């Protein structure tokens, strides 16, 4: 058939005004039952679908939310996280007829020498999106602050200390780590190391705190020798390689712990590698727990005991919060999502010898 039918065509065919069709379409006002029937039939016959372009334009809103990513990051791991968040957002936002657009801040530089923050703000002003989701620590602090300052409705996933007025959604890092550590104490471990970056980011400090709390609750006096700190920039310090290096050098000196809690799964695997290279077995010689329950955590051998978080649900929380923010409704400043510990094969009971050793000291 010819060109795409417009609301006008429908109106003509149904012998009503376009206004009436529009009203029927989005229920903005009441329409008589017989009129409705006629119009619906006309729409049916013409196969009419309203142009979203025109709708957005007329309404002055694209009903789109932006998922801000920093596309230079090579981390496939992070990508899995992001896409899962995106799906969670979609679960919530699709019902409200919003769609999700991926905006890669890193491209700003390449394109117009603008800062990512300015660039994002411009795109917001161009009505490319109504609100944004930012994942920390993927994005730089400057960007997050700029978003806040421009008063763009936004939610930050992963806590961010300096965000003013920004809505935040995060998993219970301290609770999760407490559960992981407690699992080890319950298995009889008394000397437990923590492998992680220095507490410069909220994630790392929260997780370390959870470890500390669990120790305290179990009546164990923590030892600074048990703090295995990785090195590198913020993101590097969370990596497999950093964990492997730190663990290897720790094993080159005398050590006393029988279990290690790693700041995330990737680092747990780094530890496993280092241990294996020294001829030690997991979990027979040392138990290991991780955090995140990444997709591969149950596939590695031994399967990793770790803290599970429902990332898609996290995305849904973020979606709901953002929706409220965009529509100007009141929003909780901070939503913390609960996590759970899953016991697999990388942890085992502390053996009798270790018990004895511990009682001795």
Partner DNA sequence: GCTCTGCGTGAAACCAGTTACAGAAAAATC
Partner DNA sequence: GATTTTTCTGTAACTGGTTTCACGCAGAGC
CB of 222 to its own copies, least distance (A): 28
Closest C-alpha to 85, from 310, 294, 312: 312
Phi, psi at 118, each rounded to 5°: -60, -40
Angle made by CA atoms 204, 208, 214, in degrees to the nearest 5: 150
Partners of 194 in the beta sheet? 227, 261
Closest C-alpha to 129, from 173, 38, 194, 68: 68
15 binds DNA (CB under 7 A): yes
CB of 311 to its own copies, least distance (A): 8
23 binds DNA (CB under 7 A): yes
Nearer to its own copies, 87 or 357 (CB): 87
Distance CA 86, CA 96 (A): 15
Q: For 232, left (φ over 0), alpha (ψ -120 to 50), or beta? A: left
How many Cβ atoms are within 10 Å of 164's Cβ, its own excluded? 7
* Site residues, its own copies (CB under 8 A): 4, 49-54, 56-57, 60-62, 64, 67, 69, 71, 75-77, 79-80, 82-84, 86-87, 90-91, 94-95, 99-104, 107, 111, 122-123, 125-128, 240, 266, 269-270, 272-273, 276, 294-296, 298-301, 303, 311
Nearer to its own copies, 82 or 179 (CB): 82
CB of 104 to its own copies, least distance (A): 5
345 binds DNA (CB under 7 A): no
* Total residues in contact with DNA, by rule CB under 7 A: 35
CB of 290 to DNA, least distance (A): 49
CA-CA-CA-CA torsion sign (73, 79, 83, 86): negative
Nearer to its own copies, 122 or 285 (CB): 122
Angle made by CA atoms 98, 124, 79, in degrees to the nearest 5: 65
Site for DNA in 52-71 (CB under 7 A): 53-55, 57-60
13 binds DNA (CB under 7 A): no
Query: Which residues of the shown chain bind DNA in the complex (CB under 7 A)?
Result: 3-4, 6-8, 15-23, 25-26, 28-36, 48, 50-51, 53-55, 57-60
């Amino acid at each position: 058939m010819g060109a795409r039918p417009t609301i006008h065509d429908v109106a003509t065919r149904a012998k009503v005004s376009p206004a009436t069709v529009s009203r029927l379409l989005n229920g903005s006002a009441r329409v008589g039952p017989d009129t409705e029937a006629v119009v619906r039939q006309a729409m049916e016959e013409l196969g009419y679908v309203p142009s979203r372009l025109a709708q957005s334009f007329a309404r002055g809103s694209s009903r789109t939310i932006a998922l801000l990513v920093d596309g230079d990051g090579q981390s496939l791991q992070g990508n899995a996280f992001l896409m899962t968040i995106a799906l969670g957002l979609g679960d919530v936002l699709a019902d409200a007829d919003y769609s999700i657009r991926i905006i890669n801040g890193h491209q700003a530089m390449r394109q117009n020498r603008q800062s990512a923050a300015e660039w994002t703000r411009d795109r917001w002003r161009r009505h490319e999106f109504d609100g944004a989701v930012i994942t920390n620590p993927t994005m730089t602090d400057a960007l997050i602050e700029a978003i806040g300052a421009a008063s763009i409705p936004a939610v930050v996933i992963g806590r961010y200390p300096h965000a003013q007025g920004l809505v935040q959604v995060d998993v219970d890092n301290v609770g999760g780590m407490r559960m992981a550590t407690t699992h080890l104490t319950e298995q009889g471990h008394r000397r437990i190391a923590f492998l992680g970056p220095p507490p410069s980011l909220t994630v790392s400090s929260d997780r370390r705190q959870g470890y500390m709390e669990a120790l305290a609750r179990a009546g164990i006096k923590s030892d600074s020798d048990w703090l295995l700190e990785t090195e590198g920039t913020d993101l590097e310090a969370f990596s497999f390689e950093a964990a492997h290096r730190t663990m290897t050098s720790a094993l080159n000196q005398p050590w006393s712990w029988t279990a290690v809690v790693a700041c995330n799964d990737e680092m747990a695997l780094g530890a496993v590698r280092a241990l294996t290279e020294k001829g030690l077995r997991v979990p027979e010689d040392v138990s290991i727990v991780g955090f995140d329950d990444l997709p591969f955590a149950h596939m590695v051998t031994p399967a990793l005991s770790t803290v599970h978080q429902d990332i898609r649900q996290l995305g849904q929380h973020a979606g709901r919060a953002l929706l409220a923010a965009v529509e100007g409704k009141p929003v909780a400043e901070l939503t913390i999502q609960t996590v759970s510990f899953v016991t697999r094969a990388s942890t085992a009971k502390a053996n009798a010898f270790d018990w004895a050793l511990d009682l001795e000291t």
